[in-house]
Structure 1
Amino acid sequence: MPAGFPDSLPISSERISRFRAERLGNVRPFNEFFDKDRISKPKGMGDIAQRLSYNLTHFQSNYIIIVLGLLIYCLITNFYLLLTIVFLIAGLNFIRKIPSDEPFVFHQYVFTQKQLYSGLIIISIPLLWISSAGSTIFWIVGASATLVLGHAAFLEPGIDNGFASADQV
């Protein structure tokens, strides 16, 4: 990526580094995440609730990586959506860099910052429709929920969870 890439994003590099440290800093090892000895059918809804409660917090970073992987997969397989998102980010970045008190002059036409944002919205709605952004979002949500909740419901809590509940008694 170019050196000035993080500066051009609306998200600061400080927030990105904090996200990496807090959310992705405690990724569990592959053999712990896919431990086939701990996979079992839950006994009932109480067991499912206990497993979800433990696994969703314990493997939170791994689940974030799964969702990001599905998002990247969708962007790779839907090239029109990728181009639309690049167009939107570039357009928003271009408009953001224009001073708000100065109009943008293109040949003999003069546009204010509000008009440029409105034009970008008007152009982006059909582009997002054509690139099927809505169905992609629903696919990501459905696939993520199925994978994450399925994994969390069928993986037994670790041994450390038994010690934590015994201390509370």
Structure 2
Amino acid sequence: MSNTSIPSFPNMPSMPASFSESLPISPERINRFRSERLGNIRPLNEFFDRDRLSKPKGMGDIAQRLSYNLTHFQSNYIIIILGLLIYCMITNPYLLFAIIFIMFGLHFIRKMPPDQPLVFGQYVLTQKQLYTGLIIISIPLLWISSLGSTIFWIVGASGTLILGHAAFLEPGVDSGFASTADQV
């Protein structure tokens, strides 16, 4: 892969050719996540099957349903969580700005050569000082953007949706075959 860059100032890192090259997560890990976690998304008619919705008979029934549905619909549940994350980012522009600011700051600092400090006027800033400055700026920025309440909202909303779906949806016919095959 070629790294095309725009003209830059001395001691400044070059811009990446694509956004995926600038992420702290490697493209191989992203592809593995897509294939392993999102590769077995169940169809919507199976996920929203009204014929299989019923009230559980007791705690044993709930435990059996949770055990089956949480593994069977794992990819669909990940999509729900990602959807809630995107919803929060869209509805909270301060949080979106804070996360974009932090990502670009980390990208900028990470692309700097570690042995060359950044010269800004008469100030000389090392990578360690830049990371410290980014943390000092990021904490109040995330506080103002209400990151804590957003995290609790996402956990509560996704937990309610996912556990509610898993508890009220009866296991499929194939779950009976899987349990008898394990006993043989």
TM-score by length of 1: 0.97
Q: Identify the match of residue 53 of structure 1 among 67, 80, 85.
A: 67
Structure 1 regions of 5+ residues with no counterpart? none
Query: What are the Cα deviations for residues 94-145 of structure 1, in whole angstroms up to 9, with x where unaligned?
Result: 0001111111111110001110000000000000000000100010011010
Alignment of 1:152-163 (within 5 A): 152-163=166-177
Q: Is 1:107 matched up with 2:121?
A: yes
Residue in structure 2 matched with residue 136 of structure 1 by the alignment: 150
Q: Separation in 2 of the partners of 1:141 and 1:42?
A: 24
1:149 aligned partner: 163
Matched, 1:26 2:40: yes
**Gaps (5+ residues) in structure 2?**
1-15
Aligned to 1:68: 82
The yes-or-no answer on 1:121 pairing with 2:135 is: yes
2:102 corresponds in structure 1 to 88
- Cα distance between partner residues in 1 of 2:46 and 2:106: 42
Partner SS state of residue 157, structure 1: coil
Of residues 156, 163, 166, the one that matches 2:180 is 166
Q: How many residues align?
A: 168
Cα distance in 2 for partners of 1:93, 1:164 equals 47
Letter in 2 for 1:14: E
* Residue aligning to 2:8: none
Q: Which amino acid in the other structure matches residue 30 of structure 1?
A: L
Structure 1 position 168, deviation (Å): 3.0
Amino acid at match of 1:87: F
Return the alpha-carbon distance in structure 2 between the equivalents of residues 153 and 15 of structure 1: 32
**Hey, what's the Cα distance between the residues in 2 that align with 1:3 and 1:49?**
49
CA shift, 1:167, in A, is 2.4
Task: Give the letter aligned to residue 53 of structure 2.
Answer: I
Amino acid at match of 2:47: F
Q: State the partner residue of 1:38.
A: 52
- How far apart, in 2, do the equivalents of 1:78 and 1:55 lie? 32
- CA separation in 2, counterparts of 1:7 and 1:41? 48
Equivalent residue letter for 2:182: Q
Percent identical among aligned pairs is: 79
Shift of 1:155: 0.3
* TM-score between the two structures when normalised by the length of structure 2: 0.89
C-alpha RMSD of the superposition:
1.0
For residues 74 and 182 of structure 2, the distance between their equivalents in structure 1, rounded to whole angstroms, comes to 23
Q: Distance in 2 between matches of 1:154 and 1:101?
A: 58
Question: Match for 2:179: what amino acid?
Answer: S
TM-fit CA distance, 1:3: 5.3
